[in-house]
Structure 1
Amino acid sequence: MPPRRRLSAVDRGRALSWIHDGVCMREVARRLAVSHSVIQRLRDRFETTGRAEERPRPGRPRITSRQDDRFVCLAALRNRSLTSNDLRGQLRMAANVRVSDQMIRNRLHEASLHSRRPAVRTPLTQAHRRARVEWCRRHLRWTRQQWSRVLFTDESCFTLSHPDGRVRVWGRQGERFIDGTVQERNRYGGGSVMVWGGFHLQGRTPLHLAHGILTGVHYRNEILQPIAIPVLRAMGVRSTLQDDNATPHRACIVTNFLGQQGVQRMQWPANSPDLAPIEHLLDVRGRRVRDNHPLPEMWLSLVSYSCRNG
């Protein structure tokens, strides 16, 4: 192992103390596992300046100026999806400065800009945004009693192989494709089950396994009439059904059926799954029961988790 060429502040103090006590420099270098020249420079520097710290070193001069660094940062902030190669090209065209991709990344890191996986959200138009704001203002001052009369419902598709981007692996260079660092995923999802459920402040509905494509007729006959309506009746006369704007939910036969049953339905803004608490509940439940079981076992796992946690 080659000798070190740098000394820590503690080792510098120890070395100077030993030299003051008469220990030769080669013995001091041997004790600290450094080269003789390191101890000699330390002694000469202390005798000349009276200080043991190393003088600041200028390092390699920066190729980019402060103005160039600001240009790179502003270009990245204006278009967050630009790559370091794109930014390098823009800097070369604007200031005739040729740098490497790594230097571009270094300048962005100095400005606290780091590469991240982009967050995903539903596309929203201005009309969507206005509807969301109006819905939030309408329900901003709702009391706990008012929310207790709302039955939140939704369907969710649970797949055996779900690319949720949460899986990470540890690996060294050159180990990208070894078995331990590769996640197997079926190209077509490996099968799935469609589950409907609902909950309110005092309880929940049983889970319903939807077979085939969910239509308005199936939604009325298999979900609303046998499951949702009895729960709404038990909640009280002023209970409210919350479901999203999916095509089966807004079919005419469903709307007419709810009107005949006297069920009050909450108006829901389009493209707003994040506002429904059941969406977050189903997401958590799906991640906890997804253990790459066969489909019947996944259904049993969902039912078991629902019975334990509600």
Structure 2
Amino acid sequence: MMWGCFVCDKVGKLGVLEGKVNAKKYIEVKERCLLPTIEMMFAPNKEFIYQQDHAPCHTAKCLRDYFLPNDIFELEWPGNSPDLNPIEHVWAKMKIKIREEMPENKKELKSELLQELVDSIPERIAAVVSAKGDHIVY
């Protein structure tokens, strides 16, 4: 399983999770990938809001307990709102692209994933704006 994040046109660290993902593994990927990304993208004490979906490992009490002391504030987000949850579309497009490109190693895979993540954002935003916030087929 892959974990990724981005801010506008910048991508953060990409994480690989082995086996079944639970809250403990999710916290581990936050420590390995999210916290370094926050340090890299945001000046000290600069506020940001973190968006994620409502997968069970994302809503565990231990994760919320982890977020507070690390100054990670979550965007209130409906559980089923994929149009503007860009990562969902990115993962779907990436699966197709990876099948076509057939990366030979993890480094190539990460490179393909990050590029697709960045490239897909403007088109999706334009589609949502054009639909005036209504559902889009992407």
Please point out which of 16, 33, 54 is paired with 1:227: 33
Structure 1 residue 215: deviation in Å?
0.7
TM-score scaled by structure 1?
Answer: 0.34
Retained in 2: the 8 A contact 1:240–1:266? Answer: yes
RMSD after superposition: 2.3
- State yes or no: 1:261 paired with 2:67: no
Structure 1 Cα separation of the partners of residues 11 and 49 of structure 2: 14
- State yes or no: 1:217 paired with 2:24: yes
- State yes or no: 1:303 paired with 2:110: yes
Report the structure number with the largest CA radius of gyration.
1
Counterpart of 1:248 in 2: which secondary structure?
helix
Structure 1 Cα separation of the partners of residues 14 and 112 of structure 2: 11
Q: Cα gap change, 1:263/1:299 in structure 2, threshold over 3 Å: closer, same or farther?
A: same
Correspondence list, 1:1-310, <5 A = 194-221=1-28, 223-233=29-39, 234-236=41-43, 237-291=46-100, 293=102, 297=104, 299-306=106-113, 308=115, 310=118
Structure 2 Cα separation of the partners of residues 298 and 272 of structure 1: 33
Structure 2 equivalent of residue 58 of structure 1: none
Residue ranges of structure 2 left out of the alignment (5+ in a row): 119-138
| AA matched with 2:12 | T
Structure 2 Cα separation of the partners of residues 226 and 292 of structure 1: 27
Percent of aligned pairs sharing the same letter: 25
Structure 2 Cα separation of the partners of residues 273 and 203 of structure 1: 21
Greater helix fraction, Structure 1 or Structure 2? 2
Q: Cα gap change, 1:241/1:263 in structure 2, threshold over 3 Å: closer, same or farther?
A: same
Structure 2 Cα separation of the partners of residues 262 and 307 of structure 1: 26
TM-score scaled by structure 2?
Answer: 0.70
